[in-house]
Amino acid sequence: MPGSAGTIRRPLTLKLMRRNPNLSFPNHAAILFSVAVVMAPHVAHVPAWTTAFCAIAILMRLLGAWRRDPLPAKWLLFLFAAIAVGGVMYSYRTLFGRDSAITLLLAMTVLKLLEMHARRDITVIVVLCYFLTIINFFYTQTIVTALYSLGAVWVITATMVSLQHQAEPARFKQVVVTSGVLLSQAILVMLVLFILFPHIEGPLWGLPRIQQSGRSGLSDNMSPGSLARLSLSDEIAFRATFDTLPANAKQLYWRGPVFSDYDGRTWRSGQRVTLSEFQFEGLGPSIRYSVTLEPHDQRWLFLIDIPSSLPQDSVLTRDYQVMSFRPVRQRLRYVAESTPRYRVGKEVLASELQRALALPKAAAPRTRAMVEEWRAQGLGPRQIVDRALRMFRTQPFIYTLEPPPLLNDPVDQFLFETRRGFCEHYASSFAVMMRAAGVPVRVVTGYLGGEVNPVDGYLVVRQSEAHAWNEVWLRGEGWVRFDPTAAVSPLRIQSGLANAVPATEAQPLLRRTQLQWMIKMRHQWDAVTNSWNQWVLGYSPERQYRFLSSFGLSNIGWQDMLIALMFATGIIIISFAGVMFMRMRGRRVDQIQYLWLRYCKSMALKGIVRKPSEGPRDFTERVVSFFPALRDEIRRIGDLYIEMRYGIKTVNTAAIHELRREIAALRRQTSAPIRNA
C-alpha cells in the first residue's frame, strides 16, 4: 500500500479560524463596550460605511465570544483591512489628513478586536481606546465633549481593572471605585500641569473644516434666503462684555462683511482695499468692550458700527470692515472701541462711488421704471430714500423667515409679487432701488443686538441675530446707515427676532419659549460654557500670566514654571505615596501567617524551600528530616501554627509570643546552611 505504516492522511481543509483567547464572556463584553463608547462620538464625523463596518466587526466579536468560536483567519483579516483602506480612499481620495487618518484608525481598531488572542493585543486595544478619546477633541472642544471623554476614560480604566481579576469575576462596585480613585489622582496631576505648564500661542487641537454657512456664520456673499436659513441656527456667534453695558444693547449693529458688487441675484464683497488712514466724526460717547469670537474660518471680525480703535493684528478696509491678519480658526478674544453715533466718509474716491452705483443692465426692469417715475417728480437722494422706506412701511410687505423662492428677477418678483421676505430681501431690493435712482449704496451684513445673560453679564450674539442693512452715500453727510427692515418690522430692531416674525414660523425652541425655568437653565448653561471657553480653551499665555500674577508670581518665566511644576507634582506624588503607606500600615496584619512566612523564609535561606503544594504538617516533617536532633522544637513550631491557624488553640498575645520565641530559638540552633537540600 502506498505510504508508510501508521501514516494517516487527513483531508485538505481551508483554515478559516484561529484559536480564541482565554477570556471570559464578561471580559470580552467589557472590552467591546469600551471600544463602542470611545467610537460613538466619531459617528457624526466619519462616512456611514465606517459606522456600519465598525458595528458589524464589534457584533461579530461579541457573538464569537458568546459562542466560543475560534478567531477569523489571517487572510480574512487582510481582506477586511483592504476593504477598509479602499473605503477610505473612496471617501477622501487620500490616506493622509485628519479625517482620512481617523477613519482608518477606527477601522483598524475594530479589526484588532477580531485578532485579539493575547494579553499584548488587549493592551494595544486599550491604548488605542485612550488615543481615540483624545482625537475626539480634533472636532470639538466643548464642555460636553470633555465630560463625555472623562466618562469614556473611566470606562476604559474600569475595563483594565476588571481584566486583572482572572481567578474570579471582579465585583462591579470594586472596579468602579478603584478606577475612579485612579482617575481622580490623575485629574489632580492634570490640573497642576494645566496651570503651571508653559502655554504656547495657538490651539493644541485641530479644528473642524467649516463647510456650511449655518455653522460658520455669515458668508462672503449674500443671495435671497441665505440669512433666513442662518437665522434658524441657535449657535453662538460671539460673546461680548462691556465696561458699561449700553442701554440699547438690542439695537447695536455689529458690522461684518460689506457687499458692493451685484450680478442681478447675488451680492459679493469683491476686492478689499486696506484703509491707510481712518477719519470719522463722533456724534456721541464711545464704548469699550471685549469680544470672544467663535471660529468661523474667515478673516472678518465683528465690531460695533463704527470702530474707533482696532484690535491687535487687524486692519480696516475702505468700506470700514475690520479684517484679521489670518482666518479665525480658533476661538479669538479681542478688545475694541466703537462710536455708535458717527459721521464718516464725507469725502470718498470717485471710483468708490462708481462701484456703489453699478447695476446690471438687465436687472430689475420694473423697479427701474418705478424709480424713474420718482426721479421725474424731482425727488433728490434723501427724498428717494424716504420714498423707498415709506413704500416698505405702508404697503403690505411681510417680514418672515419662510419667504417664497424667487426664480427669475429676484428684486422685481419680491417688490411686485411675493412681498414676503427676510432682512436680505429688503436690503437687496432697497440697494437696487437706490442705484437705479443714481444714489450710491452698498449692503452691510453682520448681527443686530444680542441677549444679555443675567448670570455672567455677557452679551450673547447668536447666528439667529444675523442681519443685513444698507449704507447710502449722501453729499455733505457721507455714508449713512438705513435699515429697511425697520420700516417693515420695527419689532425686529426694538425687541429682537423672536417677537418680529409670526408665531407659526419655525425658530429654535429656546428662542421661542416663554417658560422661565427653561430660560434660566439656558442662561446658566451659557454662563458655564462661557467660563469653560474663557478659562480652559482660552487659557492663553497672557491669561496664564495674569492668573499666576494673582498669587504673587508676577515675574515668573517658563523656567520658573517648570521648576514649580516639578515641585508641585513631586508634592502630590509624595502625598499619594504617604496616604497609601498609612493605609497599608493601618490594615490589620495576620500575625500568625506573618510569623509562619518568616519561618519558611528562614528555612529557605538554609536550603529547605517550601513547595507551593506543601502543607504545614508535611513541611514540618521535611524540616525534621534535615534536623533530626531538633525534631521536638520543629514539631512544636508546626503544631503551634496549625492549632492557632485552624482554630484549635485560642489566638492571643501570649500564644503569638510563644510562637515567636520558638521560631527565634530554632533559628539560632540552625545557624549553618544545609547543602544539597
Catalytic residue ranges: 423, 467, 483
Q: Which three cell numbers stand for residue 15?
A: 483554515
Strand partners, 280: 344
Distance CA 415, CA 417 (A): 6
Amino acid identity of residue 584, one-letter, is: M
> Which residues have C-beta within 8 Å of that of residue 82, sequence separation ≥ 6?
none
Q: 138: which residues sit within 8 A by CB, 6+ positions away?
A: 98, 102, 205, 206, 207, 208
- Residue reference for cell 478586536: 113
* Interstrand relation of 303-304 and 253-259 (parallel, antiparallel or unpaired): antiparallel
* C-alpha angle 255-256-260 in degrees, rounded to nearest 5: 105
Q: What element of type H or E holds 656? A: helix 653-669
Torsion angle (degrees, nearest 10) of CA 211, 215, 217, 221: 40
**Phi, then psi, of 238 in degrees rounded to 5:** -165, 165
Tally Cβ neighbours within 10 Å of residue 531. Answer: 14
* 8 A C-beta contact, residue 522 and residue 510: yes
Strands 398-399 and 420-421: parallel
Contact 296, 331 (CB under 8 A): no
Location of C-alpha cell 430681501: 425
Candidates 410, 360, 525, 384; CA nearest to 458 is 525
CA distance linking residue 583 with residue 585, whole number of Å: 5
| Residue (of 427, 441, 447) closest to 301 by Cα position | 447
Strands (E), 449-558: 451-452, 459-462, 466-474, 478-482
Contacts within 8 Å (CB) and 24+ apart, 311-316: 311/335, 311/336, 315/274, 315/275, 316/274, 316/275, 316/278
Residue 539 CB neighbours (<10 A): 14
Among 132, 113, 107, 108, residue whose Cα is nearest residue 27:
113
What is Dmax (Cα atoms) for the chain? Answer: 138
Q: Output the DSSP codes for 118-186.
A: SHHHHHHHHHHHHHHHHHGGGT---HHHHHHHHHHHHHHHHHHHHHT--SSPPPHHHHHHHHHHHHHHH
Burial of 442 (0-12, 13-18, 19+ CB in 10 A): buried
